[in-house]
Structure 1
Amino acid sequence: MIHVIAIITAKPGQREAVLAEFRANMPAVLAEEGCIEYGPVIDAPNSPATFGPDSFVVVEKWASPEALKAHAKSPHMLAYGERTKEMLAGRAIHVLTPAA
């Protein structure tokens, strides 16, 4: 299994617009072969450490590295990237495996 933590930073004031595009794309991603979990999370109130008001984190689980690679190249993800690219300030993608 592959775990992915993607930290998405929108341009100031754009987080909700990016999240709307993200949520619209979620059904297609969840239907992908090998997708186990895929969803956005934001800072909890009173969290001791925060990503900030312009960021959200995507928590993902994939059955295999191949499924993750197919996801990245899928037409709906490419279209999502085009729709949101002008709204983003940055992103960091962390691909992880379970610790032994």
Structure 2
Amino acid sequence: MLNIVAIITAKPGMRSQVLEAFNANVPAVLAEDGCIEYGAVIDAPDMGPFQTKLGEDAFAVIEKWESKDALMAHAVAPHMKEYGKKTKDWVADKKIYMLNGA
């Protein structure tokens, strides 16, 4: 199983638009073979001084995939290509971490 954490930083003031497009795409991703988990998360409010915040323009995507093959198929799925085209002008930065259990 692969665990993916993607940090998406929208251009200032564009996070809600990116999240709207992201959330519209979630059902198609969850229907993909090998997708175990896929969803966006934002900073929890009022968690105290020890919290490192993503910030008001960023969100994280938490994903779990059964295999590398499933993840690679996801990356080139038509709905992902469409999502990328739709949001490319709204996104300032993207970091994708591919992780195994320790």
Partners of 1:23 and 1:76 lie apart in 2 by: 12
Q: CA RMSD in A?
A: 0.5
Which has a greater percent of helix?
A: 1
Give deviations 1:48-82, integer Å, cap 9, x for gaps: 21010000000000000000000000000000000
Give deviations 1:16-59, integer Å, cap 9, x for gaps: 00000001000000000000000000000124210100000000
Alignment of 1:67-86 (within 5 A): 67-86=70-89
- Specify the code of the residue in structure 2 equivalent to 1:55: A
Partners of 1:64 and 1:26 lie apart in 2 by: 19
Secondary structure of the structure 2 residue equivalent to 1:7: strand
Partners of 2:20 and 2:53 lie apart in 1 by: 21
Gaps of 5+ in 2: none
Secondary structure of the structure 2 residue equivalent to 1:86: coil
Secondary structure of the structure 1 residue equivalent to 2:75: helix
Gaps of 5+ in 1: none
After the TM superposition, which parts of structure 1 deviate over 2 Å for at least 4 consecutive aligned residues?
A: none
| Match in the other structure for 2:27 | 27
Identity, in percent, stands at 57
| Match in the other structure for 1:55 | 58
- Find out whether 1:66 has 2:95 as its counterpart: no
| Match in the other structure for 2:7 | 7
